[in-house]
Amino acid sequence: MNKKRIAIQGIRGSFHEEAAFKHFGEDIETIECDSFKATCEALKHKKADYVVMAIENSIAGSLLPNYNLLQEYRFAIIGETYLNIQLHLLALPGVKLEDIKFVESHPIALRQCGDFFDEHPHLKVSEGMDTAACAKKIADNKLTNTAAVANNLAAKLYGLEVLDRRIETNKKNYTRFLILAPTATENPKANKASISFQTDNSIGSLAKILNYFADNNINLSKIQSMPVLGRRNEYIFHVDLEWQTLAEYEKAIRKTLKRTVNFNILGEYEKNEKV
């Protein structure tokens, strides 16, 4: 039986691969991509079966360029998963903290470890493209004076040791990942949806639409506005909805269709609680 091919931004050992393992299990083929757009291209050209894409972080906020990719490619969102982002200081076996002069990682990961670097001002911090790639660089080049900020998966994969564990400043740090597929499949357990739409510029137009959901007991778990490219004062709204009763959700959607333009259901899937 062929393994599922999962496209991720970054290389093996990254948080994206960890999220893929969490959703699909570890018996998968990871397709490494240099960018989020490249993951979409891999799915479009059937070089991957699914994409795992970060969409928001509890500290850094929304990844706005990825909302543009959702609009551009129109893949189906078939699921979501959350990771508690735990960041460790990794180095070659036998290297001690006092040997370290340089630390490399993804810029967002470095920013999330500000307190640690304040306590170790002698460390020179530099940005890399990916947490796992920085770990791999240390292993490949046998760098004894450099550490990486990455996860346990990268440490295990590239043979590094944890010098200092959980160096992130905020321990309640979560990233939400979307699972994308070429087309939607019916999910009888679906109780969450991601939709997008535009409204006119009349007073209260958005409020009226949001009230349709409130009137039908639909919880709005997220609202994200994005400018429409090339059009002044026009915005597209991305909304995540959660429901208890399918009939109420469908009723709210029917009403919303009448009041919006460029309406799209990006995906209907099962809500995944943070773990």
185 as an active site residue: the answer is: no
Identify residue 69 by its one-letter amino acid code: L
Q: Computed from CA positions of residues 201, 207, 210, 215, in that sequence, does the dihedral angle turn out positive or negative? A: negative
* Backbone conformation region of residue 13, classed left if phi is above 0, alpha if psi is from -120 to 50, else beta: left
Annotated catalytic residue within 175, 199, 256, 260 = 175
Q: Which helix (H) or strand (E) holds 222?
A: strand 219-227
Annotated catalytic residue within 24, 177, 197, 213 = 177
**Structure tokens that stand for 207 in this block:** 């409020």
Q: Give the side-chain half-sphere CA count within 13 A for 164.
A: 17
**How far is CA 22 from each of CA 40, 59, 69, rounded to the nearest angstrom?**
20, 21, 23
Identify residue 38 by its one-letter amino acid code: A
With a CB cutoff of 8 Å and minimum separation 6, the contacts of 82 are 174, 175, 176, 177, 272, 273, 274, 275
Neighbours of 245 (CB within 10 A): 12
**How far is CA 109 from each of CA 100, 127, 158, rounded to the nearest angstrom?**
18, 9, 19
175 as an active site residue: the answer is: yes
Active site residues: 175, 177
